[in-house]
Structure 1
Amino acid sequence: MAVRPTRSDPAVPPEIDGGPRGRIRGEVVVVVGVLVALVVLALAVVASLAIGARSIPPDEVVEALLGRGSLSVVGIVGELRVNRTVLGLVCGAALGAAGALMQAVTRNPIADPGILGVNAGAALGVVVGAAVTGGLGLASTVWFALVGAGLASAVILVLSASSMAASSPVRLTLAGVALAATLSGISQAFVVLDEQILDAYRYWQVGSLTARPVDEVLGVVPLIVGGGIIALLLLRGLDAIALGDDSAISLGVRPGWVRVWSLVAVALLAGTATALAGPIGFVGLIIPHLARGLVGPSLRRVVPLSMALAPALLLVADVIGRVIGGGAETPAGVVTAFIGAPLLIVYLASRRRVGVT
């Protein structure tokens, strides 16, 4: 028997507050949450530009951005760290929105493009594209990544609609992990057949904010903008279907269309981000929960806030990766895994203790 969503479920966003005092309080909470997110994001951007193997004072960073100062500082900030920061902002916003959408559509608080196999589908698409075109160039592989992400999203949508998976977030998560492992195995089979692709894929597969010029990143930003616009247009419908399909229909929402277009948005967001930076996991898992803690469960608040907080997390992970290894750099995807994996284990253990399987 399908389990109806409840208001205590963190993936369920409806909220009803009839009094003017409650509405004012809600608006204050939203404003405070947005201000906190913007401050955190600004600090992360400053850290990304200033901190690394060579730390640069903020005043020198500003001088370098204006084209003044020493050539070495201008080169480090203007040519290297600006590229990484722009890439982190773009990919972080995409992954944050994709994670919030997946948690809403699947009604699963531990849904994430990385955990449920969407990133792995995009990665397989990139590998197939590289095998067909002869390299990991973004222009030639991003479309393959979108197809791979779309197919993986469709599988997850079908699984989430099944009675077995709908009754348990843990079961859907395990199915997603199995899908991700299968797709990753197929990717590895392609990679070992081509030594040139293997060399490029080895570092890309763990998720990194390096080696993407700004103009190349900006060239695919329209895909992420398109996915973001679709996501924002779906928020009212997603809030409605969280009440149940019957309630959504009574409100004039077509649940099937909302889920299909959510799939399209997730594919655009997660697929493009994966093509840019590799399969970075756990960003879409952690950030929507933080956003809900700041502004409440409504997706009309959670998704935009996730698009501000997720880049901050990704940039901080990138900065940590630059400094913890000394001369060797740890990719941002490894750092986010170290942050997110323990949180996922704790969540699953807590569900097990209360008898949820």
Structure 2
Amino acid sequence: MNSSTNPQNKSLKLNIPKNFKTVLILCIVLLGVCVLASLVLGSRLVKWNELMDGLFHPNIDTYGANIVRKRISRTVFSLFCGAALGVSGALMQSVTRNPIADPSILGVNTGASLFVVFGIAFLGTTTASQYIWLALVGAAITAVFVFGIGSMGRGGATPIKLVLAGAATSAALSSLVTAIMIPRSYVMDQFRFWQVGSVGSGNWGDIGTFAPFLIIGMLIAFVTAPALNAMALGDDVATGLGVRTGVLRFDAALAAVLLCGAATALAGPIGFVGLLSTHVIRLMLGPDLRFVIPMSAIAGAVILTLSDVLGRLIGSPGELEVGVVTAFIGAPILIILAMKSKVRSL
């Protein structure tokens, strides 16, 4: 990764928001509550002694303790996916200067889905490690295509044009997904549960596959955050501060694709997490990406884990997939944001 900043950017003083400590403590407490709820709540309520046995006594092989151990991997997987989607949303909003950018809204998730379906139907892919590379390629191609279409014409890549390009692309790719699946029942059986978006099947193998992409994407996001702040002032100002805007956009977009592509490959196309988490953090802390990016990771983890718990409680004794819950919460918020005049640009 080529650095997008130079020493001049260090002159951008780190002004810590007044309520940062309060927000940080609140987010950490909420994260702890969500983790505890994820371990305890579900189709079967886990008792305190069973929770302790599952966490600290590996030799105890009771039904309740085994449920806790199964939920540990599910919870960690949910935290990872939520953090990845939260940071991906923050990066996409910054790169496109579109406050309602999100992997699901810009069609990136659908692009990843198409390539996964193609792999299942024609390449015989069956494992998470195979899904993840197909999803990354699909997400990257779709992101480039949508941004290219949205940049055409007068005014360049405006928020509304990007959303329209993403919606049109998503509709077209969804049709291709359906066209591939309909004559192949085995593809539909394998794909239909993944398509809804769920963290229920997350295991330690998936977490191990996901971890390198999460680490690389997060590192790129943190490194590029100061330069993205400068670019928010305009390309001319950023260039004057020594930022290489072309390289910066590529680096930030690469991180966003790595994060959302890997999460989509393993958990399915879960929408609105990046949109919700980033807007909540911006509302509380302001626009400084040096705070928005790491706090969006925590907020995304909280939102996705909480949605997973709600899905288990609402659908008990079964469960409602987390992608349905996040869509139910996120769609009305998207409509409200789109109706506001401030949606023009960041």
Establish whether TM, by shorter chain, passes 0.5.
yes
- Name structure 1 gaps, 5 residues minimum: 1-13
Deviates more, 1:302-311 or 1:135-144: 135-144
Q: Which AA in structure 2 matches 1:207?
A: G
Q: Distance in 2 between matches of 1:164 and 1:201?
A: 40
Deviations along 1:143-189, one digit per CA (max 9) or x if unpaired, are 11110011111123324544557574233212211111111221222
One-letter identity of the residue aligned with 1:335 = V
Q: Which residue of 2 aligns with 1:111?
A: 101
Residue equivalent to 1:130: 120
Is contact 2:131–2:266 with CA below 8 Å preserved after alignment? Answer: no
SS at match of 1:205: helix
Tell me by how many angstroms 1:57 deviates: 3.3
Indicate which of 42, 60, 70 corresponds to 2:50: 60
| Normalised TM-score (structure 1) | 0.87
Equivalent residue, structure 1, for 2:209: 219
2:92 corresponds in structure 1 to 102
1:190-269 equivalent positions in 2, closer than 5 A: 190-269=180-259
Match of 2:145 in 1: 155
Q: Deviations over 1:278-304 (max 9, x none)?
A: 000000111101111222210110000
Pairwise CA distance, 1:253: 0.2
Please report how far the alpha carbon of residue 86 of structure 1 lies from its aligned counterpart in structure 2 after TM superposition.
1.3
Shift of 1:193: 3.2
Q: Give % identity.
A: 41
Match of 1:78 among 69, 72, 76: 69
SS of 1:343's equivalent?
helix
Q: Which residue of 2 aligns with 1:276?
A: 266
Indicate conservation of the 8 Å contact 2:147/2:162, yes or no: no
TM-score (norm 2): 0.90
2:293 equivalent to 1:285:
no
Preserved contact between residue 86 and residue 273 of structure 2 (Cα < 8 Å): yes
Cα distance, 1:133–1:17 mapped onto 2, change above 3 Å: closer
Offset, 1:308: 0.7
1:334 partner amino acid? V
Change beyond 3 A, Cα 1:170–1:327: same
Shift of 1:137: 1.7
Cα distance, 1:115 vs structure 2: 0.7
Q: In 1, distance between residues paired with 2:12 and 2:244?
A: 24
- Alpha-carbon distance in structure 1 between the residues aligned to 2:251 and 2:150: 15
Aligned residues of 1:133 and 1:140 also touching (Cα < 8 A): no
Deviation at 1:222, TM superposition (A): 0.1
2:338 is aligned with 1:348: yes
Q: What is the alpha-carbon distance in structure 2 between the residues aligned to residue 17 and residue 245 of structure 1?
A: 16
Matched with 1:324 is 314
Corresponding residue for 1:11? none
- Note closer, same or farther for the CA distance 1:124–1:17 as it changes in structure 2 (3 Å cut): closer
Please state if 1:313 is matched with 2:309.
no
User: In the alignment, what sits opposite 2:3?
Assistant: none
Conserved in 1, the CA contact under 8 Å of 2:96 and 2:157? no
Name the CA distance, whole Å, in 1 between partners of 2:105 and 2:141: 15
CA apart distance, 1:215: 2.2
The SS at the match of 1:211 is coil
158-167 vs 228-237, greater mean Cα deviation? 158-167
**Cα RMSD over matched residues?**
2.4
Instruction: State which drifts further: 51-60 or 136-145.
Output: 51-60
Unaligned runs of 5+ in 2: 1-8
Q: Does the CA contact (< 8 Å) of 2:98 and 2:344 recur in 1?
A: no
Which residue does 1:181 correspond to in 2? 171
Q: When the two structures are aligned, how many residues end up with a matched partner? A: 335
Whether the aligned pair in 1 keeps the contact of 2:110 and 2:170 (CA below 8 Å) is yes
* Between 180-189 and 311-320, the greater mean CA deviation after superposition: 180-189
Q: CA deviation at 1:58?
A: 4.2
2:292 to 279, 302, 305: 302
